[in-house]
Amino acid sequence: HRASRAVRRDFERREPYNYLQVAFFKLKKLDQAVSAAHTFFVANPQHLQMREDIEKYRRMSGVKADSFQDLEATPHWEAYETGMQHYDADEYLQAVARLEESLSEALSALEECRALCEGPWEDEDEEEKMQPGLYEAIAAHYIQVLKCRQQCVLEIATKPGRISATEDFIPSHLDLLQFAYSQVGNQTLAAECAASYLLFYPTDEPMLEKMKQYRTELGEVTARQSIQHYVQRSLMEKKLIYYAVEHLGETFNDPDLWTPDELIPENLKEKYREDQEKQKQETLDVEEREKRGPLPFEGIAVTMDSQQMNGTQRVVFDRVLTESECRDLLRLTKAAGEAGDGYRARRSPHTPHERFEGLTVLKAMQLAQNGDVEWRDAKLLLQASEKSRKIVESYFTPGKKLHFSFTHLVCRTAIEGEQEGRMDLSHPVHADNCLLDPEGQECWKEPPAYVYRDYSGILYLNDDFQGGGLFFTEMDTVTVTAEVHPKCGRLVAFSSGKENPHGVWAVSRGRRCAIALWYTHSQEHAEQERVKAEELVEQRAVEQDQPDGNKHQGTDRSSRSSSEPRAPSRATKPAEQRQKPGLDRKQHPKVLRARDEF
């Protein structure tokens, strides 16, 4: 008997543990409830309800720390993550032991997965469409088994809780091991790993150069038997599948980046080239549209538009500020930041794990007038926010005036010692001009919501912190549709209504600073503090025109062009050093499957 796809999917998502934790909790078996909750949460890290439950468990006095264990932990992922921690810490002796364990366990898991590919035909829809003869049925079934086996590498390379597989999972082990073995002085095993890696990528120039050195030192070097078997078997299966694709009308999404070009049939290569050309043309079309866009400043780039962000009325601009302008505004925050959110005078309005500091444009000008901050920095806050307003207005509502509704220079700082076990968000999911009701799938445009807000923006000043990214969701507040990672000079803008629910991931380390901007078409709701701030600037200019006005400090740096080149953020490594493999790993979970607290 084979369980249905729906049942198997639930088990893959660890759904039974969601029910188990509730059952154990009601039975007052706290340790088992915690283990079940943790096991579910590992595979569903964006499940907001479970985040809350886990945090509650951590606060309970009767819960043991070692109860937070993953009951479904896969050996190869445990070994891989520990190995990578040692590797990143340059502890290569410990790294090779755990990475070897990970590779061995991964190959074993691959064999188990391949064995499960045997079984009856499962595509019921396909079965209804065609009534094949005996030979066709045998061929179709066999090709289905082969394709299933090929996809197993994606299954073992996908970490629980992730959607995307780690690219080149098996080859990357060999690349990492080659480097680690060479660092501990074991040239024999380093050479063996290099030879094994070249089975996947025989034209990789840095590795070929390494092999040349190894052969000079050691003589003939052979690849690992297990890797030779893995590659040969995979290539034979791919050859059969591609034959079926070419002659029997099958389809195949090759999971491997290393598949040799000569293995793919010519007509498929042609189709691939056509797809690439089409994609390239679409990219050029988008770029052309962006060039024609009515942006009022040069040098600004549209990094993501609504389509790329899976929504409507969303956009990300880069290079709105220069690195030096970001530094000046950060200096302003340090000089003037106050505990509290700046307009309600209370500390940490959204989470007890962070400290909020806020500064309005008027307060910045008043501080400058008193000599507490530099005039040029306070003036730069006005200029940067006005520049952002013009960009948003020209992009979304050309010809229709946008007024400032509120401008707020805000920093969120992770409180040290209060981040362990943290499960909440820096800012819960919300919409900017209505009260979000995820259960009813509605957003109520009524007080206390700021119903007059039409567009919102965030102009980021830094990225030297952990977490703090902006994310958009569906109306359910849990299905993430897009994420924006902060960096200096990046402006994200969007309409303020129910079409753009958004939140901010927790800031778990460091200090995140940005200018929060809200705009309105309604002049009666225009920001009055800004008018007063501009009056202070004019008053300052008049004073400077007086005979003794030349006593002010230096030159006003806030008038610098935003098209000046950025300062390098870190020193460049010597060119002769080969980059340590594994430094560019990135994974982004895409979907949340729970409700947020309303």
What residues are labeled active site? 512
The 3-state DSSP class for residue 477 equals: coil
Taking CA 160 as the corner, what is the angle to CA 117 and CA 423, rounded to the nearest 5 degrees? 160
With a CB cutoff of 8 Å and minimum separation 6, the contacts of 293 are 302, 394, 395
Which among 108, 123, 145 is positioned nearest to 241, based on CA atoms? 145
Using alpha carbons, list the distances in angstroms from residue 336 to 1, 319, 327.
Answer: 69, 25, 14
DSSP states along 92-121: HHHHHHHHHHHHHHHHHHHHHHHHTT-SS-
Reported as half-sphere exposure (CB side, CA atoms, 13 A), residue 521 has a value of 9
Residue matched to tokens 């089975």: 199
DSSP state of 550: G
Both structure tokens of 207: 């590795």
Residue written as token pair 């099958």: 250
Q: Alpha carbon 25 to chain centroid distance?
A: 34
> For residue 164, how many other CB atoms are within 10 A of its CB?
14
Question: Distance between CA 387 and CA 409 in Å, rounded?
Answer: 15
Closest CA to 97 of 180, 196, 156: 180
Give the angle subtended at the CA of 118 by the CAs of 117 and 123, to the nearest 5°. 75
* Cβ atoms within 10 Å, residue 8: 12
Q: Rounded CA gap, 91 and 76, in Å?
A: 19
Residues 439 and 425: beta-carbon distance below 8 Å: no
C-alpha distances in angstroms, 559 versus 81, 231, 387? 48, 60, 12
**Residues counted in the chain:** 598
Q: Are 15 and 50 in contact (CB under 8 A)?
A: no
Distance CA 386, CA 341 (A): 22
Residue 410 φ then ψ, to 5°: -125, 140
Q: How far, in Å, CA of 411 to CA of 504, rounded?
A: 13
Q: 418 — phi, psi (to 5°)?
A: -125, 20
Start-to-end CA distance of the chain, whole Å, equals 43
Greatest pairwise CA separation for the chain in angstroms = 101
Helix axis angle for 266-292 and 225-247, nearest 10°, is 80
The Cα–Cα gap between 165 and 161 comes to: 11
DSSP string of 370-406? TTSS-HHHHHHHHHHHHHHHHHHHHHH-TTS--EEEE
* Residue 543 · residue 301 · CB < 8 Å: no
